[in-house]
Structures are given as C-alpha cells and as structure tokens.
Amino acid sequence: MPGRVKADLKGVPETALWTLHHRAAEAARPDTVLPDPRAVQLVTEIEFPFQERLGAARPWLAQALALRALGFDGVVRAFLADCPDGTVVALGEGLETQFWRVDNGRAQWVTVDLDAPLALRRRLLPHGERQRLVACDARDTQWMAGIDPSRGVLVTAQGLLMYLQPAQVTRLIAACADAFPGGMMVFDTVSRRFSARTRAKGPGGHRLPPMPWGMDAADRKQLWQAHPAISEVSEVALPRGRGFLGHLAPCAAAVPLLRTDRPLITKLRFGTAPASLTGQP
C-alpha cells in the first residue's frame, strides 16, 4: 500500500514481525499491561500480511510476550538508575520499541542485528545521536568494538538465544563477561521440552523456527561455568498481569506443573575474573 514500508523477512528475522504483531495487539487493548503506542503505530506502517502469514494474535500469547517485555524493561530501568550514563546493547533487537519505553535521556543504546531486520528498523524507527545501529551477527564479537565498559554496560538478548546452538550461547556469554567487566546481561530462554517441540515436525500453520537451545530452571546453575567473571546468576520474575494468566506469571516457579517447564528470564552480573583464569572461559 502507498506510504507503507515493505517487510520481507524470512526465517529467524521474521520473528521480529511475529513478536511485534502480538505486542501491538496487547498494547492496543484499553486494559493493556504494556502501553506501547509506538508498536501499535508500527503495524500500520508496515506492508506485510500479518494475519495471512502469522495468523490472528492470540490474547494469552500477546499478554505473555508483553509481560516478557515488561520484565526486560524492569531490568533496564534498574540498570539505568544505577548507571544513568551507561550503555544498553540490544542483541537481535528486531522491531522492539524498548528504547522509547525506558530511555532516561542520557543512556547510550546500541542495536545489533542482521542486515535485513536492521535495514527495516532504520526505515521505520527514528534514531537519535545516542542510538547506534550495528549490522552484525550477535555471535560475531566485532559488535563489541567501541563500547566503553567504564560507565556500565547491560547486554540484552530478548527472543534471541534460543535460536542459537548451546555452544554458541556459551561462547557469547563468555565473550560478554570478558569484554564488559562489571557489566550485566539479561536474556530469556525456552524450556528443554519446548525446544524439542520446535525441532519436531508437526501439523501445518504458522510455526516458529526451530529453537536448538532450551534451558530448564535446574540448568541455570550451569551458567556459572561459562566464564570465571560471572558473579551472579539470578531469575527475573515476570510482572503481574491481567486475568488468571497474568496473576499466575509472577509465581510460576512455585507451581509444580510449571516449575520445570516454563520460559525463563535470567540475569547475569559480571565481576572481574581472577588474573590466573582470565581468558579461560
């Protein structure tokens, strides 16, 4: 349609449109848990057959993705409260509009993504002098160049790491711990069971790409082994939402049926590795 920006993403990059589709549907509700007018506006500016390709946005899933975004927002706001001039590095940011929800007017923001989704983001979203777009695979440590860790660094990976191989995830975490002493990282994961389901063949309809990496809550302790500078591994609880699902979200860890098979948000804090171990992730 005239005036709209055409989106032609495939594979994992297309998940940026899927996530936006659901986040905007939740944001458009009068009782939304995630006010995000920029996301609502975005879907009207993109030439893409959302309904035909992705199906109708399911309310429960839309709220779940919005609560995930709120969980990340909370971590970023806390980081910026402690490090107001710090740098937030958003890996695989796609069409996430978090910057406009949490910006404190001082932080540096670095978006790292592949060429196609980054080009689409550049056309659709205004970026100011404190925002930098880096066309790079998140697994390629070249994106770390030019990021000053002295004022604090938070690396976010929302809806990304599950699409990597387990060994690639470990290397990425280790590289961040090595490059950003005193920094932090926050990411979400799917359960091992859900990961296996995405890799199995099933009925037709829209299917997300396979997710090679899954992690259950009991596996979180293994993250300590990624790098000796990791000084904290903790869970980020989802905020309380709307209805039964929304009220269940913050206490899912206490529900036996959900405790071991649920999506997780994990926060890592990086200290300084012992000199004898530095460089040995």
State the Rg of the chain over Cα: 18
pLDDT of residue 257: 60
Does 57 fall in a domain?
A: no
For 17-45, how does the pLDDT look when each residue is reduced to its tens digit (9 = 90+)? 999 999 999 999 999 999 999 999 999 99
Q: Is 210 contained in some domain?
A: yes
Strand (E) or helix (H) holding 77: helix 59-82
Phi, psi of 110 (to 5 degrees): -120, 120
For residue 205, being part of any structural domain is answered with yes
Is the residue at 100 inside a domain? yes
Q: Look at residue 280 and tell me if it is in a domain.
A: no
Domain count, the chain: 1
Q: For residue 275, what pLDDT band results from cuts at 50, 70 and 90? A: very low
> Does 198 fall in a domain?
yes
Name the least confident of 85-94, 102-111, 131-140, 271-280.
271-280
Domain limits for position 133: 77-270
pLDDT level of residue 2 (50, 70, 90 thresholds)? low
109-146 burial, b if ≥16 CB within 10 A, otherwise e? bbbbbbebbbebbeebbeeeeebbbbebebeeeebbee
For all residues of the chain together, what is the average pLDDT? 91
- Rounded CA gap, 277 and 209, in Å? 37
- Chain segment 227-237, per-residue pLDDT in tens: 999 999 999 99
CATH of the domain at 259: 3.40.50.150
pTM for the full predicted model: 0.93
The 10 Å CB-count burial string (b at 16+, else e) for 30-57 is: eebbbebebbbebbeebebebeeebeeb
Structure tokens at 142: 């070249």
